[in-house]
Amino acid sequence: MANYIIEGGKRLEGEVKISGSKNASLPIICASILNGKKTKLYNVPDIHDTQVTLKILRYIGCKVKKDNDKIEIDSRYITKKEIPEDLMHQMRSTVILAGAILGRFKEVTFSYPGGCDIGARPIDLHLKSFKKLGINIAENYGFIRCSCDKIVGTNIDLDFPSVGATENIILASVLAEGKTVITNAAREPEIVDLVNMLKKMGAIISGEGTNIIQIEGVKELKEVKYRIMPDRIETGTFLCAGAITGGKIKVTNCIPEHIVPITSKLEEAGCNILIEKNSIELKAPTRLKAVELKTMPYPGFPTDMQSIFGTVLSVSKGTSVITENIFENRFKYLAELKRMGAKNKQEGNVAIITGVRRLSGTNVKSTDLRGGAAMILAGLNAKGTTTVTNIEYILRGYENIDKKLNKIGANIRIEE
C-alpha cells in the first residue's frame, strides 16, 4: 500500500492542465462494444478505473491498443458475455458494461457489484429498467443473468435521476426495436458526452442533458473517433487546492459551465474567479469565509466535490453547514480531518464545520476516492508533514495528481 508524503504550507501558483473525464470515459469505453467495429478514443485518462474497464473488454474478446491517452478498441471478435467476478468487484461502475453487452448480444452475466466506501450503491433501478425493456433477469448465488430474444423500446420513469441507470438504459436501447423514453433521467455532462459519442456512431437520441431522453433504436452503429470531455471533478479539485493554500492558479483545458456550483461557492467563500472559454483562474483570499452547501443531482453541487469542499471549509472563517443528499456514507473524511485539528461534527446527512486557522500534519487515511483527494488538500494546507495512506483509492480517479501539484509549487511525493 503506497502513501503520499506532503510538506504543507506552500502557496500553489501556476497553471495546471485537466485530463479527460473518468466518469465520461467509463461509459464511452463500454459503448465501443455496441458497434462491432473499431472505435478510436482520445483524451482518455490513464487511471486505474479506465485500466480495469479496458481489461474487461480484452477479457470478453475486444482488441485494445493503448498509446498514452489514445485508445483503439476493436469489438468485432467478442466471444464472452459475462463479466469476471474479480474484475467486477474492482470497480463499482462496471455495471454499465452490462447495458452495452446486453444492447449488442441480448445476454449478459455479471455479479452483484460490491458496495463501496460511500454507500450501498444498489442497482435496483438498473435491473427494474432492464425488465421494462423486456429483459429476463435471473439472480442466484450472487450472479445476475440477463437475457432476451429482443429488446423492445418502452417508457421508463426513474425513481431517482441515477447517472448509472440512465447510462445503462441508453446503452441497452440504442440497438433496440422501437423508441425508449426515459423520464426523470440524470442530466450530468458525462451523459451528454456519452450521447454525443453514440450519435457520432449513428444512434438516434435526443434530450440528453435534460430529464427526458428519447432513444430511437437503430439496426447497427458505425466506426467512430471521439475525444473525451475534460474532468469537471478534477477541475474542481485543483481550484480547491488553490483556495486552501491561499494561492493563485489557472486551470486550463476545462469546461467552466460544467462546474458553476463550485466556482460560485468558491466566490462566496471569498475567492476571485476569472472565467474564460476553456480556463478558470482562481485567486484565493488570505482567509476564506464559511458557506452552506447541499449536494444535489446535476446541475446542483456535485456530491463528488463534497469531501474536497468540506476540507476547504475546515480552514474557513466561521461555521459552515454541508448537507449530503446523494450518498449515505460520504462523511468519513471528517474524522480524518479531526486528527489534523479540524473542528466538525456530523448529524445524520448534515456536517457542521467550524473553521480553524490552519490544520496540522499527521498520518491520515484515504477513506475513498474523493475522501483521499480531500486528505491531499488538507496536507497542502497543514503545518508540517502529512502522510496520506491507502492512495490506491486516489489513483483510481486522478491522473498524475502528485506531478501536477508539484508543478504548481506543492511538495508531495509517493512512498511505496
Under the rule (CB under 6 A), what is the footprint of ligand EPZ? 22-23, 26, 92-93, 119, 121-126, 160, 162-165, 186, 190, 303-304, 326-327, 369-370, 397
Whichever of 90 and 316 has its CB closer to ligand EPZ, that residue is 90
Q: How far is the CB of 23 from ligand EPZ (least distance, A)?
A: 4
Characterize the bridge pairing of strands 279-283 and 136-140: unpaired
Whichever of 369 and 410 has its CB closer to ligand EPZ, that residue is 369
Cell numbers placing 349: 446527512
Q: Are 55 and 90 in contact (CB under 8 A)?
A: no
Whichever of 198 and 288 has its CB closer to ligand EPZ, that residue is 198
Torsion sign across C-alpha atoms 170, 173, 174, 179: negative
Longest pairwise C-alpha distance within the chain: 64
Torsion sign across C-alpha atoms 84, 87, 89, 91: negative
Torsion sign across C-alpha atoms 190, 13, 4, 291: negative
| Measured distance CA(107)–CA(331) in Å, rounded | 38
Q: How far is the CB of 121 from ligand EPZ (least distance, A)?
A: 5
Q: Are 316 and 286 in contact (CB under 8 A)?
A: no
Closest of 327, 316, 17 to residue 163, by C-alpha: 327
Q: How far is the CB of 234 from ligand EPZ (least distance, A)?
A: 10
Q: How far is the CB of 188 from ligand EPZ (least distance, A)?
A: 6
| Measured distance CA(251)–CA(235) in Å, rounded | 7
Q: How far is the CB of 42 from ligand EPZ (least distance, A)?
A: 20
Q: How many CA atoms lie within 13 A of 218 on its CB side?
A: 17
Whichever of 130 and 382 has its CB closer to ligand EPZ, that residue is 130
Please measure the distance between the N-terminal and C-terminal CA atoms of the chain and give it in whole angstroms.
7
**Which of 116, 146, 148, 240 is the catalytic position?**
116
Cell numbers placing 352: 457542521
Closest of 324, 367, 362, 372 to residue 341, by C-alpha: 362
Q: Quick check: is 116 catalytic?
A: yes
Place of cell 469505453: 29
CA 330 to chain centre: 14
Whichever of 123 and 144 has its CB closer to ligand EPZ, that residue is 123
Position with the least CB separation from ligand EPZ: 164
Neighbours of 301 (CB within 10 A): 26
Q: Are 19 and 231 in contact (CB under 8 A)?
A: yes
Whichever of 263 and 367 has its CB closer to ligand EPZ, that residue is 367
| Measured distance CA(382)–CA(105) in Å, rounded | 53
Q: How far is the CB of 120 from ligand EPZ (least distance, A)?
A: 6
Whichever of 102 and 125 has its CB closer to ligand EPZ, that residue is 125
Q: How far is the CB of 158 from ligand EPZ (least distance, A)?
A: 9
| Measured distance CA(217)–CA(104) in Å, rounded | 12
Which residues does the annotation mark as catalytic? 116
